[in-house]
Chains A and B, each alone.
Chain A
């Protein structure tokens, strides 16, 4: 599936770009980190499906397997862009 990038927006001034929903940021819509999909885009497994396996290192460098680590509890799993920027 080819996902289109949302480049709608207007330049309000130096480093002031407004996107289609009225949010203002220093980069134009569709540039680098401000790359939003336009229209349909994949959102992964659906409601009613089992959460796929997630195995990754935590902030201590230890491997975490979410399904065993959650210890029978519900999970809130956030996919975020970056903790750095």
Chain B
């Protein structure tokens, strides 16, 4: 939370829970963000993100959203959003802060050898708990007048991308976050491709599913490996395809889980069972 305040952003968390459940949660966890109650799923419905795979009579599950996050700028315009099919995975705070702050990139100087592109690869975060995404960030420094390709590309060209090692067990990649592209038609064969201009920042959210954890006397670890690949071109010709490998070993950490039962990583009690019973009853035959 201090990081969100420092970034000048306000954090709101909305769910279909009742007000008193949110109050208990806030107290149990010392939460300082604003929690919003939408017990009839009106806001969720107005956003069009009600989980309709759950039938209306399936209490207490009916009414939940497809979970996700919207990030706006100071004018309230949406600048980024995070949704994945699997609710098990959710964006980590590093990812949200990166979206709030945006990218501040400077153009590199024009060079004539087509090899002027450099890339810095970072694992953004200090741990990788189960189901919480962190990003692998590739920051390309691209000389003026040159561009990189967004996929898909025709055979013979290489699009700029971050790829995990195919042998990697337990690490799952999610929807890449990429800058806007502009269309460019190749003079040689008339193909129109989407290209990134200027300095390019690619982000690949990844999470681990619990199978990636290695234990030793110092703790629980996750290893991540892969490569960033690209090919830089100007209006006339292209440089050779290039790639740069990366590998990171970070603490696996623990995922905070709800308090409905005992287990590793559970958080302090907030009368979860009691609130749950109320939820089961509230829209059911009892009402």
Give residues in A with beta carbon < 8 Å to B: 3-6, 19-25, 30, 32-39, 41-61, 64, 66-67, 69-85
Contacts and interface: CB of A to CB of B under 8 A. Distances in A.
A9 B222 CA distance: 24
Nearest to B170: A22
A58 B49 CA distance: 20
Interface size class, chain B = 35 or more
Contact of A85 (B26, B67, B276): B276
Contacts of A19: 86, 88
In order of increasing CB-CB distance, the 8 nearest A-B pairs are: A59-B22, A22-B209, A5-B53, A56-B36, A43-B83, A44-B47, A83-B25, A79-B65
A71 B88 CA distance: 32
A50 B73 CA distance: 10
Interface in B21-38: 21-23, 25-26, 34-38
Contact of B260 (A34, A70, A85): A85
B4 interface: yes
A51 B70 contact: yes
A74 B15 contact: no
**Dominant SS among interface residues on chain A:** loop
Contacts of A53: 46
B76 A36 contact: no
Contacts of B67: 78-81
Contacts of B248: none
Interface stretch (B6-14, B190-198, B233-241): B6-14
Contacts of B249: none
Contacts of A77: 12, 14, 69-72
B144 interface: no
Given A21-B88, A42-B66, A83-B21, A76 B96 contact: yes
B78 A74 contact: no
B35 A59 contact: yes
A24 to B, nearest CB: 6
A19 B209 CA distance: 10
27 contacts: A19-B88, A21-B88, A23-B209, A33-B61, A33-B64, A43-B66, A47-B80, A53-B46, A59-B37, A66-B12, A67-B76, A72-B74, A73-B9, A74-B72, A74-B79, A75-B10, A75-B12, A77-B72, A78-B12, A78-B69, A79-B69, A80-B14, A81-B16, A83-B13, A83-B22, A84-B260, A84-B270
